[in-house]
Structure 1
């Protein structure tokens, strides 16, 4: 199993780094998109289009707006899965109860630990600033922060991308 976590701030280059790692894997790449297209949001559609235009045409793209674990479960050892992004996936599921959320994350973590594919997950860092003023913002921050931490604890490599630079936290840091 090769599980890689790429985390960092907004617009810092996380996706580009993850894409580079996927290319370097030499495997068949499947891009797992967690975002939904909203025709009423031109700016969001433009962001999605920029991501699509950067990716090689040989990559397959699949959607996992909710059921990310089953997408990972379908992988083969010859696959490289690039999941972009955990933050969007968490946002898609904010309406779930704590019990439902725990079940979903347990399923995801379980599939990640038994997958033979190279799996690269992109996650946004939250909580480095102000505490969100609204309950939904705090719920998002807490769920994403905990999920990122859980995946980081089982990942073979964790990268922090910030200011256009990449740090290999697995080499520089110590697991808690």
Structure 2
């Protein structure tokens, strides 16, 4: 069976408009959208609650929202086409799992990639680009940067479209670039 499903990756730095672009892409697909929020709520963090609130206000009212901070791979089996999953964001999801040891992380990562490749759903993933700055001086910062960078690269290689949002512009990397395959 040939699938017409799309895997779309939207990446870029903080406050670049990644989520807004992903939301526009989801709207353009003209399919039911399930917005998968990976953030954990912290009732003691007012600024974080305000960020989450802004994201909610921007989304279409008819979109279904699910909060999946940990078991992201399981969501693919819960829905069937013509639904579209918009996952925002991979950086938050990686941060939620940062305490996993390397073996557990590799299993979680592989499970996500396998499920992503096997689903027949349209999937739009938002990922932060963290490697454009200095190398963090603390171990957890380096671990986060390395895990997210590797995951984003792996998804980029299986995605139908990859967009970079930065400086107020959206670049279609699939049209402009050439894939760099993992060795």
Q: Please indicate the TM-score interval, normalised by the length of the shorter structure.
A: over 0.9
Match of 1:78 among 65, 79, 82: 82
TM-score by length of 1: 0.99
Q: Provide the residue aligned with 1:123 in structure 2.
A: 127
Match of 1:20 among 19, 24, 48: 24
CA displacement, residues 49-73 of structure 1 (integer Å, 9 cap, x when unaligned): 0000000110000011100000122
Q: Provide the residue aligned with 2:174 in structure 1.
A: 170
2:50 counterpart of 1:46? yes
Measured after TM superposition, the shift of residue 127 of structure 1 is 1.1
CA displacement, residues 78-97 of structure 1 (integer Å, 9 cap, x when unaligned): 11100000000000000001
2:50 counterpart of 1:35? no
Can you give the 5+ residue segments of structure 2 that lack an aligned partner in the other structure? none
Confirm or deny: 8 A CA contact 1:75 1:115 kept in the other structure.
no
Measured after TM superposition, the shift of residue 39 of structure 1 is 1.0
Between the aligned partners of 1:48 and 1:5, the Cα distance in structure 2 is 21
TM-score by length of 2: 0.95
2:151 counterpart of 1:147? yes
After superposition, residues 77-96 of structure 1 pair within 5 angstroms as 77-96=81-100
SS at match of 1:130: coil
Can you give the 5+ residue segments of structure 1 that lack an aligned partner in the other structure? none
Between the aligned partners of 2:46 and 2:36, the Cα distance in structure 1 is 22
RMSD: 0.6
Between the aligned partners of 2:142 and 2:77, the Cα distance in structure 1 is 30
Q: Provide the residue aligned with 1:133 in structure 2.
A: 137
2:163 counterpart of 1:159? yes
Q: Provide the residue aligned with 1:113 in structure 2.
A: 117
The total of aligned residue pairs comes to: 176
Between the aligned partners of 1:9 and 1:72, the Cα distance in structure 2 is 26
